[in-house]
Structure 1
Amino acid sequence: MTTETMTESKFFNITALASTLPESAETMLTDLRLTDEKEASCRIFRVHRPAPAHYHTSCDEYLYVVSGRAEIAIAGHAPREIGPGELVFFKKNTIHAIPKILESPFTVLAVDTPRRPPEDVHFVNPEDGTPESFIKTQY
């Protein structure tokens, strides 16, 4: 999708779209962008392996777990297990990580406000990765 404003409504079958994400990848995550507007982006992503502590400078993030279970660590909170039907919210610049995948596939519907460009991932320890090693977008 482009960052141009959509002029019509869209409907998405999240379960069907989530099933198109690969079972494995060289990157930590793979995602499928559903919308990519200036005001917000919406994606489905699958976590393939633990994601080290990182943050985003462009957006607040809403994460709704579609399938699987994982441990999430968010600055200021004790790590906790999350699973299907749970929604997690945090503000931009909040350090967060997925240190453990407990049940695969761990798939999440994400809404970023405003839009999160794919390159906006900053690792607390820069040696942990780059935007290119973090996520690969499928179109």
Structure 2
Amino acid sequence: MQMQVWNIIMGKDIHNFFDLDEIKARFPDAADSVIVDAYLSDSESASSRVFRLYRPLPRHFHMNCDEHLLLLDGEADFSLADEPPRRLRAGQMVMFLRHVVHAIRPVEGAAPAIFLTVDTPRRAPDDVHFVDPADEAGPRFVTHLAGYGSRR
């Protein structure tokens, strides 16, 4: 009990429950950004988010975190390194280590691709490095769903 009180006093989340269906229902039908996300957790050891893909996510990598992606809904073409794209369907998961170049494309005519992602350790918002620098000038990378933005 004393540890729980200490964690509450120090502002740490001890646990949380999330209704992923409720979060998914709040994603807009269209967005100006590549993805819209909702942070579920954001600690030094890991961060987790649910995000919806609105347009192709160009080839990029993360310097400081490994990534675990579970496709909750829809379909997406997922590319890792120099391999050809692989079609992911709801219920499939991909995991890759930091520095691995990856990209995601929505599938035309399929339900929107919505992912649960866990980054270990935490992925800082600026830890998205595009392979082609011109992609940084493209559409905004991310918009945070109201009430679910990163705490940092």
Q: Normalization by structure 2: what TM-score?
A: 0.82
**What is the one-letter code of the residue matched to 1:72?**
F
More strand by share: 1
Q: How much has 1:76 moved relative to structure 2?
A: 4.5
**Take 1:5 and 1:59, find their aligned partners in 2: how far apart are those partners?**
24
Contact 2:65 2:122 in 1 (8 A): yes
Provide the residue aligned with 2:115 in structure 1: 108
**1:47-72, CA deviations, whole angstroms, 9 ceiling, x for partnerless residues?**
00011111111200000001010100
Decide which moves more: 28-37 or 124-133: 124-133
Structure 1 unaligned residues grouped into runs of 5+: none
State the SS of the aligned residue for 1:19.
Answer: helix
Kindly report which structure 2 residues correspond to 1:85-104, keeping only aligned pairs within 5 A, or say none. Answer: 85-102=91-108, 103-104=110-111
More helix by share: 2
Provide the residue aligned with 1:35 in structure 2: 41
Aligned residues: 136
**1:60-107, CA deviations, whole angstroms, 9 ceiling, x for partnerless residues?**
000000101010000143311001111100001110001343423110
Contact 1:49 1:101 in 2 (8 A): no
Would you identify which runs of 4 or more consecutive aligned residues in structure 1 move more than 3 Å?
none
Question: Percent identical across equivalent pairs?
Answer: 37
Kindly report which structure 2 residues correspond to 1:43-58, keeping only aligned pairs within 5 A, or say none. Answer: 43-58=49-64
CA pair 68-12 structure 1, distance change in 2 beyond 3 A? same
**What is the one-letter code of the residue matched to 2:143?**
K
Contact 1:123 1:130 in 2 (8 A): no
1:136 aligns with 2:152: no
1:59 aligns with 2:59: no
**Take 2:23 and 2:29, find their aligned partners in 1: how far apart are those partners?**
13
**Take 1:114 and 1:5, find their aligned partners in 2: how far apart are those partners?**
20
CA pair 28-16 structure 1, distance change in 2 beyond 3 A? same
Decide which moves more: 67-76 or 35-44: 67-76
**What is the one-letter code of the residue matched to 1:24?**
A
Decide which moves more: 43-52 or 14-23: 14-23
**Take 2:46 and 2:68, find their aligned partners in 1: how far apart are those partners?**
11
Structure 2 unaligned residues grouped into runs of 5+: 1-9
**Take 1:63 and 1:5, find their aligned partners in 2: how far apart are those partners?**
28
